[in-house]
Amino acid sequence: MSTLYWLNDDLRLQDNPALNAAAQDDALTILFCLDERRLKTDRFSNSQMGEHRWGFLQESLQDLSIGLAKLGQPLNILAGNPQLIVTSLLDSGRFHRIVRSRQHASDKTAIWQSLRLAYPNILFEEYDSTTLYLQDKVQFTSRFPATFSEFRRALDTVAFRPSSTRPASLPAPTSIKLDIPMVAVAGNSRHPRGGETAGAQHLDKYFSTDAASSYKDTRNQFFGERYATGFSPWLALGCVSPVQIFELLRLYESQRGANESTGWILFELMWREFFRWHAGYYQAALFEFSGISGQRPLTSFYPERFFKWRDGKTPWPIVNACMIELKQTGLLSNRGRQIAASCLVNELGLDWRCGAGYFEEQLIDYDACSNWGNWQY
């Protein structure tokens, strides 16, 4: 019998508790499902994955495939409906266990729960590979904290999960034969480049400079060299983990000194953490028009207004500059996102979901929990 390891936003070998757990078996199949529905357009004419995100994902998968090959494991990339793909594999009778990193967005949790009910004789295991905290440490007595500040106070004395090393070896691969196409991926020579290798290089380069010591002063800039940490694209796909960043930050502070700016980097990691557990608590409400508040906004969808916002043709030059930057690069500063979002909702009176959906399409650092949570916060 064999273990099926289902990759999601954990495309790395280092500090990957789910991979380490999956490796504790005689045989192993490593799977990534390319959900073809992500490439189709929604009601607002947004695709769930645009050119920039797709290119970064391809590079990340290619890099992981190279790393796994060195350990004797192929990366099986299958295209289609993830639930149907996993169902086909479990129906083969080859697997007694399925492992993945814990997911928080409602679409991912719903599929997992459905599969668990359908296969009661198979072990389903999730591990906290994408967060700072372990799930059993993030327990609230009655409700999820209403604010980020309350969340931080509630967990102030709780330790982060320990980091783990990359596996020295992996079990033998399980051969699988399905009538599902394997997907070949190729690098696209973009900047920044996707993958664990490029992510680790970026972390090393960033912490080799003094940029962390002035981060609080530069973080609200729109453009420039190292005005932001630039960690988010690799964090979004799990090419690096928040625990890795935290440990490098503490090492930097021990060597160069801690200050308000280095503290602010941890502050930003905690915001990401907040939105992860926030999404896990609110589930599908996060994506509904009325959002987590349950109150329907006084906005609607006007296609002409939306297309002008999307294409950078509004009456406001700063908004246009932000939207053009996003469309051309797949990148946008935190301040730029706030300005663009405020314009869409408050000036143009548009349904916030069309803006959140467009960010989902374009941003190479798209993270469902942070994106949809921030649009409502």
State how far the Cα of 212 lies from the Cα of 330, in Å rounded to an integer.
Answer: 24
Beta strands in the chain (DSSP E): 2-7, 27-35, 75-80, 95-101, 123-127, 172-173
Question: What is each CA distance from 60 to 132, 193, 238, in whole angstroms?
Answer: 22, 8, 9
Token pair recorded at residue 23? 């490796």
Q: Are the C-beta atoms of 77 and 54 separated by less than 8 Å? A: no
The dihedral built from the CA positions of residue 11, 12, 15 and 21, taken in this order, carries a sign that is positive
Bridge partner residues of 75 (DSSP): 30
Angle between the N-to-C axes of helices 51-69 and 352-362, in degrees from 0 to 180, rounded to the nearest 10 = 40
Distance of alpha carbon 377 from alpha carbon 369, whole angstroms: 12
What one-letter code names the amino acid at 218? T
Please enumerate, by residue number, every residue annotated as part of a binding site for FAD: 215, 365-367
Give the annotated binding-site residues. 215, 365-367
| Local structure of 95: helix, strand or coil | strand
Reply yes or no: is the peptide bond before residue 192 cis, omega within 30 of 0. yes
Q: Write out the two tokens for 286.
A: 């996060």
- What span, in angstroms and rounded, lies between the C-alpha atoms of 22 and 6? 9
Q: Are 164 and 134 in contact (CB under 8 A)?
A: no
The end-to-end CA distance of the chain, in Å, is 46
CA 66 to chain centre: 21
- Distance, in Å, from the CA atom of 192 to the CA atom of 276, rounded to the nearest integer, reads 24
* Strand 123-127, strand 172-173: pairing: unpaired
